[in-house]
Amino acid sequence: MKGEGPSNSQDSAGPFGISDGELSAELQKWTGSASALHPVGELLDRHWAAAFTYARLCTDGPRAAGMLTTAAFTRLFGESLRQAGPSAAWRPQLLVTVRRIAAEWDTDGRQELLHPALRPDPASGERAAARLLPAPGRRLLARAFQRLPQPSRAVLWHAEVEGEPLSVPAALLGLDEESTAVELGRARDRLREECLQTHRELAPDAECGRYLRMLDVTFRRGGGLAMDPDLRGHLDGCGHCARTADQLARFHDGLPLALAEAVLGWGAAAYLAA
| DSSP codes, 25-90 | HHHHT--SSS--HHHHHHHHHHHHHHHHHHHHHHBSSHHHHHHHHHHHHHHHHHHHHTT-S-SS-H
Confidence at residue 13, expressed as pLDDT on a 0 to 100 scale: 39
Same domain for 31 and 163, yes or no, is no
Distance, in Å, from the CA atom of 87 to the CA atom of 112, rounded to the nearest integer, reads 33
Determine the distance from the C-alpha atom of residue 160 to the mean position of all C-alpha atoms in its chain, rounded to a whole number: 11
Full-model pTM: 0.89
Res 123: pLDDT: 73
Q: Which of 89, 113, 132 is the last residue of a domain?
A: 132
Regarding whether 229 and 139 lie in a shared domain, the answer is yes
Based on the fold, state whether residues 154 and 270 are members of the same structural domain: yes
pLDDT of residue 34: 54
> How many residues are present in the chain?
274
Q: Are residues 164 and 268 in the same domain?
A: yes
Judge if 123 and 233 occupy the same domain.
no
Based on the fold, state whether residues 150 and 185 are members of the same structural domain: yes
pLDDT digits (tens, 9 = 90+) for 212-245: 989 999 988 776 557 889 999 999 999 999 999 9
Full domain range(s) for residue 62:
1-132
Q: At a CB cut-off of 8 Å and minimum separation 6, what does 64 contact?
A: 55, 113, 114
**The total number of structural domains that make up the chain:** 2
Exposed / middle / buried, residue 70 (Cβ in 10 Å: 0-12, 13-18, 19+): middle
CA dist., res. 46 & res. 40, Å (int): 10
Specify whether 148 is located in the same domain as 124. Answer: no
Looking at residue 226, its pLDDT comes to 74
CA-based end-to-end distance of the chain: 6
What is the Cα–Cα distance from 177 to 29, expressed in whole angstroms? 29
Pick the closest to residue 22 from 96, 70, 90, 92 (CA basis). Answer: 90
Per-residue confidence (pLDDT) for residue 15, from 0 to 100: 44
> Which residues have CB under 8 Å from 108's CB, separation 6+?
none
Q: Are 112 and 60 in contact (CB under 8 A)?
A: yes
CA 145 to CA 259: how far, in whole Å? 8
Residues sharing a CB contact under 8 Å with residue 155, sequence separation 6 or more, in sequence order? 169, 173, 180, 183, 184, 187
Does residue 168 sit in the same domain as residue 213?
A: yes
List the pLDDT tens digit at each of the 274 positions of the chain.
434 555 443 333 344 579 999 999 988 887 665 555 688 999 999 999 999 999 999 999 999 999 999 999 999 999 998 889 999 999 999 999 999 999 999 988 899 999 999 988 777 777 888 999 999 999 999 999 999 999 999 999 999 999 999 999 999 999 999 999 999 999 999 999 999 999 999 998 888 988 998 999 998 877 655 788 999 999 999 999 999 999 999 999 899 999 999 999 999 999 999 8
Same domain, 11 and 114: yes
- Whether the CB-CB separation of 80 and 27 falls below 8 Å is answered with yes
pLDDT tens figures, 130-166: 999 999 999 999 999 999 999 999 999 999 999 999 9
CB 265 within 8 A of CB 133: yes
- Of 132, 154, 169, the residue that ends a domain is 132
